[in-house]
Structure 1
Amino acid sequence: MSIRIGNSCINCANLGANELCKVHGVKVSTSYTCDSFEMRAALKNDPNCVSCVRYETDSCANPQKAAPGMLCSQWAPQSAQA
């Protein structure tokens, strides 16, 4: 099973104030997603070592191999803004 940072209500264009879904009219959280999901257009997805919060830290899974432009299965964004 793949886990993707962008596929949640927090990155959906239908998320309104107070975490209220504009389509379904219910309160949601970051762990929710649905068939009406629409990615926010301004979300920047640049997954590589330089944009990883773990790059050059003790929590990096591959400190000897990590380099700009590389990607691994442990990538975590430094910031996700929409």
Structure 2
Amino acid sequence: MSIRLGNSCINCENLVEGNVCKVHAVTVGNSYTCDSFEMKAALKDEQNCISCIRYETSDCANPQKAAPGMSCNHWAPQKASA
């Protein structure tokens, strides 16, 4: 099974400390995945206004309601890589 670009290894339960894939025993980047990809079973609580690229900008869908800790359907990450 080859490693390829696609879903993120950062969300795979096979990623261990040091960005090492425990299935392939190689160092991988956050933008890689493979056929052995297994989604981590964890809640993501970092998706809120503070981590949204639109927070306090003219692109914010809910500028009157946006506040730390709040989330909405228009959330977008501040840091994204392809």
More strand by share: 2
Percent identity for Structure 1 against Structure 2: 41
What is the 5 A alignment of 1:52-71? 52-58=51-57, 62-63=59-60, 65-66=61-62, 70-71=72-73
What TM-score do you get using the length of structure 1 for normalisation?
0.56
What RMSD over aligned residues (CA atoms) do the two structures have, in Å?
A: 3.0
What TM-score do you get using the length of structure 2 for normalisation?
0.56
Instruction: Please tell me whether residue 41 in structure 1 is matched to residue 41 in structure 2.
Output: yes
Greater gyration radius = 2
Residues 31/54 of structure 1: CA separation in 2 closer, same or farther (3 Å cut): same
Q: Give the Cα–Cα distance (whole angstroms) in 2 for the partners of residues 70 and 18 of structure 1.
A: 32
Amino acid at match of 1:24: H
Structure 2 stretches lacking a partner, 5+ long: 1-6
Q: Point out 4+ residue stretches in structure 1 off by more than 6 angstroms.
A: none
- How many residues are treated as equivalent by the alignment? 67
Q: Is the 8 A contact 1:11 1:43 kept in 2?
A: no
Q: Deviations over 1:20-70 (max 9, x none)?
A: 1011111101011111111111142786x7475224323x6x33x336764
Structure 1 stretches lacking a partner, 5+ long: 1-6, 78-82
